[in-house]
A and B are shown apart, each in its own frame.
Chain A
């Protein structure tokens, strides 16, 4: 049996690449991603598990990387926002939809929103508005008022969003 240790060797797969690093037990996953691996796409908003800006996919499931220790990701497979469109390549359809629908203002919430939306569309390729809203509950946006974000997810799902915001509000 292994006694508790302060330093651990972890092996993680991030965006298809394998990383092996020594981490302190107290190190948060989000700090490991941003500071150790220099993947700065993942944001830190509240650092208390409330805002969802730090959301990444762990074995395909959205989780808050400020609420996990790096050592807990050992052996797991992660996806961060950088995976959506590798550097130098075109934006993914989901990112284009955020752009088209003006779903980004300051952009702080965006990496988490995108990863949450990606996981949703993989689970449910044609979600209704209620499902989209409820799924985004763990991702706070202090700029957009959410309407454009919901419409961006709808566009990415191939739904017709040409009817406009007013119509949606009346529905």
Chain B
């Protein structure tokens, strides 16, 4: 279907883009377009104008932070995340997740910023960024910037903590220490395909014991869901098979699973526990072996 009549602008800077968004309340940013173009065709949202941010060099940088982490511009495309040596070296999980998104064509256009701003329950990056404890840097008026922890950024389905006129500028990721590990496991229809249940895990080991953990489930509710009870059950444990199995049996939080032709809600929740367990073992395997 044809979209409603629409206006378009391609500003030359982030400051111009946020100014246009402020002065045109019906305007929305256009990044890779791999979601919003379909929204326009379906006439599913009232969009009067698109502000094309996809060519803004300020948003397209992959930078090393002094602490050994990464700052990833919102406009960096999946294909670029997947192939950047710096991302591979510092946080290979980010490159792997980008490389497993949808298909070649979507990877050639879709952006990190678009992925997290859409925040569909099945979106690949939101649970990972919550597990990694990422910081979302937001551009406001002029040179104004503010930061929001990923855990607070994802508000609900298709909603995030942006105020009108704001843009996601970049995603800041802390480095992974040798005693830390990350796991990301998805039940999906096929490789690179639609997800039915997803778990993302970050943890830190101190000697024999798990000292800190973030366990996040995706696809099962309005936003990536931190699992406080699973995390609490892991702490102090050695990460053995029996203790991890017991931990993932803890009561789940923030879950409101819906079923479809692929899987019932009950099946998704059951599988989420299985994939959480696998993600925990994946993360543990990356931590330094206890002395």
Contacts and interface: CB of A to CB of B under 8 A. Distances in A.
A78 interface: no
Q: Which of A1, A2, A116 gathers the greatest number of chain B CB atoms within 10 Å? A: A1
A58 B79 CA distance: 14
Interface residues of A, number: 35
Interface in B28-45: 30, 33-34, 37-38, 40-41
A1 B33 contact: no
B90 interface: no
A24 B8 CA distance: 9
B146 interface: no
Contacts of A61: 79, 108
B10 A2 contact: yes
B227 interface: no
A29 to B, nearest CB: 10
Chain A's interface: helix, strand, loop or mixed, by majority? Answer: mixed
Contact of A55 (B5, B19, B49, B105): B105
Interface in B1-60: 1-12, 16, 19-20, 24, 27, 30, 33-34, 37-38, 40-41, 48-52, 54
B191 A71 contact: no
Contacts of A39: none
Of A6, A63, A68, A74, the most chain B CB neighbours within 10 A belong to: A63
B19 A6 contact: no
A28 B8 CA distance: 13
Contacts of B54: 72
Interface of B: 1-12, 16, 19-20, 24, 27, 30, 33-34, 37-38, 40-41, 48-52, 54, 79, 102-106, 108-109, 190-193
Q: Which 6 A-B pairs have the closest CB atoms?
A: A138-B103, A4-B7, A25-B8, A4-B49, A4-B9, A26-B3
